[in-house]
Amino acid sequence: MSNEEFARRIGALKPVLFRVCRTQLARPADREDAVQEAILRAWERLDTLREPRYFETWLIRILINECHNVQRRGKRLVLAEVPPEPEPPREDRSRELTDALAALDEGMRLCVELHYIEGYSVKEVSAMLGIGESAVKLRLHRGRKKLRALLSEEVFGE
């Protein structure tokens, strides 16, 4: 893969990378660090990519690993209390869905985000997360069920 091709594909994937990061990292600065580090690692290890057609899957796997690294580093740091950055205004329904997604555990949230929001197939999600396709399907099923319950609670006050 040429330098130009790498840069073009990274540019096209940046929005996806940041959305995937949002499922794991709350702070925007952490998300930016994870994306930058993942791109750097991908560039340094480009020779390990066996099939260029799997570039997206490969890069997202690197990103997920980097998000875990950021989470581990964050646990070792003792931070002063900093007020959270305000999120841009959204429609109320969109906010409810975002909050419901945040309530899912990480495994379910990643599967739901990658499959339903980013549009990857079950097989691709399986490769990205390093788990079997049946595990992805189970997490999707449980994630849908939990989202349905959470959203019906918010809408109907149950």
57: CATH: 1.10.1740.10
Answer whether 10's CB lies under 8 Å from 39's CB.
yes
| pLDDT at residue 154 is higher than 80 | no
Of 64 and 82, which is predicted with more confidence? 64
Residue finishing a domain among 22, 54, 86: 86
pLDDT on residue 141: 92
Q: 155 lies in which domain range?
A: 90-158
| pLDDT at residue 88 is higher than 80 | no
Burial of 101 (0-12, 13-18, 19+ CB in 10 A): buried
**Whether residue 76 is found in the same domain as residue 138:** no
Residue finishing a domain among 58, 86, 114: 86
| pLDDT at residue 54 is higher than 70 | yes
**Whether residue 75 is found in the same domain as residue 50:** yes
**Whether residue 32 is found in the same domain as residue 98:** no
Model pTM? Answer: 0.58
**Whether residue 61 is found in the same domain as residue 106:** no
Burial of 85 (0-12, 13-18, 19+ CB in 10 A): exposed
CB within 8 Å of 143: residues ≥ 6 apart: 104, 108, 109, 111, 112
**117-146 mean pLDDT:** 88
Number of structural domains in the chain: 2
Residue finishing a domain among 86, 113, 141: 86
| pLDDT at residue 19 is higher than 80 | yes
**Whether residue 57 is found in the same domain as residue 5:** yes
pLDDT, mean over the chain? 79
**Whether residue 20 is found in the same domain as residue 34:** yes
**Whether residue 24 is found in the same domain as residue 73:** yes
pLDDT on residue 85: 52
